[in-house]
Amino acid sequence: MPPQARCLSRGSHPLNRRAFLQRSVVGSAALALSACRSLSMDPGGWRNKLGTTYVLPRWQYRPTSADDLVNLVSKAEREGRRIRMTGSGHSFSDVAINADWLLSPSGLTQVLPLDVSSLRVDAKPETLVRVQSGCTIRNLNLALEDRGLALQNMGGADVQTFVGAASTGTHGSGLAFGPLASQIEAIQLVGAGGEMLQLEPRDGISEANKFSGRLIEQPHIKVSLRHDDKLFNAVAVSLGSMGVIYAVILRAAHKFWLVERRTLTTWEELAKADGVVDRLMTSRPIRRAVPDQNPLPAGDCVPGPGVEPDHIEIYYTPYPEADGSHLALLTERWRVDCKPPGVGEPRGSPLFTLGEDLSVLADQLGLLVPTAGKNIDDVRHFHQLALGQLKQKYFANVSYKVFSIGILNEIHAYGIELAFDLKDIKAAVAGNFHLAAELASDHIFHTTPVSLRFVDASSATLAMQAGRRTLMMEIGVLVGLAGAEELLRRYEEVFVSSLGARPHWGLDRNHLRGEGAVARLYPGWNDWKSALNDLNPHGTFDGSITDRLGISHG
């Protein structure tokens, strides 16, 4: 099956357990209505996949072509309507929603042809891929693999649309890699007046004097090319507020595999003087600080002793052991360009693999929440079990199968993620320990270990990693757990005010209110506002988040 057909067929009707078990009433809104017919209203409204965000739009629609988008945006602007497009519904904040006209991207899932004739001579088209905004990361991975390519980096989930995830600053881990938006070379979006724009950095991949000015799959649609660093960097993480993205051109890597090792340790060991944490903060090799307790098996396509990992993650429990230490798990991943031994063998111990399946089953049967978070000893024991079963000397597979956490994405859990300056790692974790103890005194507990990921600085103006190398701290809770909202909101309140943490635009409890709150965290806010005024002059693409930030046009 060619890559284009694969992404289309799988993206249109994803046959996974999450989609089957969590199908919401929004499915009834995906009718193939013509843009020129009278508008209809779905009384069921729209909600995200976990039901933590709900809106009752005036109208919902599922565009299937660039024509659809151009006509819809033009009509919305003429009639004074606000129009936005959601992603796959995996954001927990109000970033995607709009109570007027709301579009679904599920009809725009193809990998599209690339106009090679418009590219600069040094553009390296063999690693460029043009993909519509509704293609999920999971289906994009399959399409890229068919071409011998791969995403350069990704997070632990693959159910989001790539464009939706990139537009909210979503990321993987590894200080040599920025967020998903850093993989995008060009953005094709429908802006004010229904104009199709192609936005690129000043030294972008397209040659202005060779640019065709037409959409290759629908040549009657004109495309205006704009080379502008400030505009491109603003739209890269635009929160859906500067137009409706039709497609992006991304820079893929050649296919690679990952060799992973997970070592059980303590936070205190990692954070000791000149330990892993100090070395991460100062960009020094961490292998000199990590005892080689679990040597990788010798063989072809396996990194040798002392080779620095390309990707680092840390999980830990905020609840201390009897000796005052905090159990932690250090994950190291090495990229290799040939197939290592043991590909296809399961990750984690057999007990952990069984535990994953049983946890998802218990969650779907409604048994997980009533038994979680009863007391601190039970929670600490669960954290110990989870981290202990993740310990593994060796795991290898194709890149996207190592990045993804797999079946655990199907648990009814949500949370927040906060971006700190890399130099504040120790202060952030110490603050986590302090707040966890305070909340525990009110019988409010962390039901999952806390995770730390490390991301390079981003040029995207409103990426959480904008302008600084970043620590991302993710805190998750089960949906329906008593005290869950109090826990998440407390962390945002404390860490934003005390350490200048930036909430993840999609993993957020709508903490930031008013543009002053954003301007204090993002030095490039005025540049972003300028791009907003340029591309959204009439408020056509305003929504709940622009209302919350006080920047809607009325």
Parallel/antiparallel/unpaired status of strands 59-61 and 101-103: parallel
In this prediction, residue 87 carries a pLDDT of 85
Q: What is the pLDDT averaged over residues 19-35?
A: 31
Q: Is residue 441 over pLDDT 90?
A: yes
- Residue 7: pLDDT band by 50, 70, 90 thresholds? low
Distance between CA atoms of residues 498 and 489, nearest Å: 14
Q: Is domain 1-255+525-554 given the CATH code 3.30.465.10 in the classification? A: yes
Q: What is the pLDDT averaged over residues 367-384?
A: 73
Q: What is the CA radius of gyration of the chain?
A: 23
Distance between CA atoms of residues 344 and 322, nearest Å: 38
In this prediction, residue 129 carries a pLDDT of 98
Contact in structure between 143 and 11 (CB atoms under 8 Å):
no
- Which are the contacts of 18, defined by CB distance < 8 A and separation ≥ 6? 49, 159, 409, 410
Beta bridge mates, 329: 264, 315
What are residue 406's phi and psi, to 5 degrees? 70, -130
Q: Is residue 478 over pLDDT 90?
A: no
Distance between CA atoms of residues 410 and 30, nearest Å: 23
How does pLDDT run across 205-216, given as a tens digit for each residue? 999 999 999 999
SS3 178: coil
Contact in structure between 502 and 522 (CB atoms under 8 Å):
yes
Backbone CA torsion sign across 275, 281, 285, 287: positive
In this prediction, residue 353 carries a pLDDT of 58
How does pLDDT run across 522-546, given as a tens digit for each residue? 999 999 999 999 999 999 999 999 9
How does pLDDT run across 215-235, given as a tens digit for each residue? 999 999 999 999 999 999 999
- Residue 373: pLDDT band by 50, 70, 90 thresholds? low
Nearest to 334 by CA among 278, 394, 391: 394
- Residue 289: pLDDT band by 50, 70, 90 thresholds? confident
In this prediction, residue 438 carries a pLDDT of 97
Please state the domain extents for the chain: 1-255+525-554, 257-336+338-406
How does pLDDT run across 238-257, given as a tens digit for each residue? 999 999 999 999 999 999 99
Q: Is residue 424 over pLDDT 50?
A: yes
% of the chain at pLDDT higher than 70: 85
- Burial status of residue 388 (CB atoms within 10 A of its CB: 0-12, 13-18, 19 or more): middle
Cα 145–150–156 angle (5° rounding)? 110
Q: Is residue 11 over pLDDT 70?
A: no
Q: What is the pLDDT averaged over residues 480-494?
A: 92
What are residue 205's phi and psi, to 5 degrees? -75, -20
In this prediction, residue 250 carries a pLDDT of 98
In this prediction, residue 116 carries a pLDDT of 96
- Residue 40: pLDDT band by 50, 70, 90 thresholds? very low
Q: Is residue 272 over pLDDT 80?
A: yes
Token couple for 460: 């995207």
How does pLDDT run across 151-179, given as a tens digit for each residue? 999 999 899 999 999 999 999 999 999 99
Higher pLDDT, residue 343 or 389: 343
Q: What is the pLDDT averaged over residues 440-448?
A: 91
- Residue 409: pLDDT band by 50, 70, 90 thresholds? low
- Computed over every residue of the chain, the mean pLDDT equals 87
Distance between CA atoms of residues 515 and 529, nearest Å: 10
Q: What is the pLDDT averaged over residues 437-447?
A: 93
In this prediction, residue 359 carries a pLDDT of 56
Q: Is residue 141 over pLDDT 90?
A: yes
Q: Is residue 349 over pLDDT 90?
A: no
The region of weakest confidence among 7-11, 19-23, 164-168, 192-196 is: 19-23
SS3 203: coil
- Residue 354: pLDDT band by 50, 70, 90 thresholds? low
Q: Is residue 385 over pLDDT 80?
A: yes
Q: What is the pLDDT averaged over residues 10-14?
A: 34
Q: What is the pLDDT averaged over residues 198-208?
A: 97
Q: What is the pLDDT averaged over residues 367-392?
A: 76
Beta bridge mates, 509: none
Burial 21-44 (b: 16+ CB within 10 A, else e): ebebebeebeeeeebeeeeeebee
Q: What is the pLDDT averaged over residues 20-41?
A: 32
- Residue 8: pLDDT band by 50, 70, 90 thresholds? very low
The region of weakest confidence among 12-21, 146-155, 304-313 is: 12-21
The region of weakest confidence among 88-92, 108-112, 460-464 is: 88-92
Token couple for 251: 């820079």
Distance between CA atoms of residues 495 and 40, nearest Å: 43
